[in-house]
Amino acid sequence: MKPLLTDKVAIINGGATGMGRATAYLFSGEGCNCVIADVNEEEGRKTAAEATGRGSEAIFVKCDITDPKQIKDCVNETVKKFGTVHILVGSAGGSVPRDASTRPRNADGTPRIGVEHTDEKHFDMMTNLNYKGHVFFCKEVVPYFKKQKYGKIVLISSMGVYHPPGPSADYHGAKAAIIGLVYNLAYELGPSNINVNGILPGPVKSPFWDPVLSHIPPEKRSAAMDELGKQCPIGRVGQPEDIANVCLFLCSEMSSYITGQMLSVAGGIPMDRYQPGVLMGGGRRG
């Protein structure tokens, strides 16, 4: 059977670890040359080497998605190396630790959360990482897509948009903006044969959860993730490969007539708000 991405070139931002890493491994085995764009140089180079060993060539390009110049340089380096780019997978994102010295705390020392405690500098960092950077990555690849009348964009949002596990106006707001970006770009770029879709992951074992579970002893974090999975209708926590498989579908010709869609990959968590008993958002929080 012919590989699904033969002779294609993909940029995977946030590709050093987690869902991005799994996507690079899968794509390389399907005939796709991959560019791992990430700030984590050590893990990024490991991912590129392992992906190359699975099939097509993969390279690492150090890129901070919050810096439009680095994004432009990354795309230019990709084109210089491989001649063009066909696919963009936007998996970079996560939570940026807030400066502990400026964060308000309760009497017991725990940090105060909620929109009334929003810090502008931290808000801007979160927005740049989880939304703005993806806009500028799209800006840089789209001219190549239009020229060749072909392109695939897959952006990673979060099921937390619909079922927030806790107050986080900055993170969940940015991830909601990704949904709007997908809808807008699908409408804008469809006439140029460019497919734009998004993924809404549920709880997936990845480095994203490290700061979220930092209050739990390290030896108990894996069990905590497993407990989250048991609350999903499908009965397990997700793996990075679960997201990578959907990325492959959306970036191959199997989905050539699909654009402007947000696919829930969340073990059955519904795309409705505040469902009683659901993992994320079991009831309205006051």
pLDDT along the chain (286 residues), means of 10: 95 97 98 98 98 97 98 98 98 79 67 77 94 98 98 96 82 96 98 98 77 65 74 88 98 98 92 54 35
Residue 147 domain-assigned (yes or no): yes
Residue 276 domain-assigned (yes or no): no
185 HSE (CA, 13 A, CB side): 29
> For position 244, what pLDDT does the model report?
98
Residue 3 domain-assigned (yes or no): no
Buried/exposed code over 87-113 (b: 16+ C-beta within 10 A; e: otherwise) = bbbbbbbbbbebeeeeeeeeeeeeeee
> For position 179, what pLDDT does the model report?
98
Kindly name the residue from 131, 144, 162, 171 that is annotated as catalytic.
171
Residue 20 domain-assigned (yes or no): yes
Indicate the number of domains in the chain: 1
> For position 111, what pLDDT does the model report?
64
Spatial distance between the Cα atoms of 172 and 46, rounded to a whole number of angstroms:
30
Query: How does DSSP assign the chain, residue by residue?
Result: ---TTTTEEEEEETTTSHHHHHHHHHHHHTTEEEEEEES-HHHHHHHHHHHHHTSS-EEEEE--TT-HHHHHHHHHHHHHHHS---EEEE-----PPP-GGGS-B-TTSPBP-SGGG--HHHHHHHHIIIIIHHHHHHHHHHHHHHHHT-EEEEEE--GGGTS-SS--HHHHHHHHHHHHHHHHHHHHHGGGTEEEEEEEE-SB-STTHHHHTTTS-GGGHHHHHHHHHHTSTTSS-B-HHHHHHHHHHHHSGGGTT--S-EEEESTT--SSS--TT-SS-SS---
Residue 283 domain-assigned (yes or no): no
Residue 271 domain-assigned (yes or no): no
Give the domain range for residue 121. Answer: 8-97+115-265
> For position 243, what pLDDT does the model report?
98
> For position 211, what pLDDT does the model report?
57
Active-site residue 144, yes or no? no
Burial tier of 199 (Cβ tally within 10 Å: 0-12, 13-18, 19+)? buried
Residue 285 domain-assigned (yes or no): no
Spatial distance between the Cα atoms of 153 and 280, rounded to a whole number of angstroms:
27
CATH code, domain carrying 73: 3.40.50.720
Residue 275 domain-assigned (yes or no): no
Bridge partner residues of 200 (DSSP)? 264
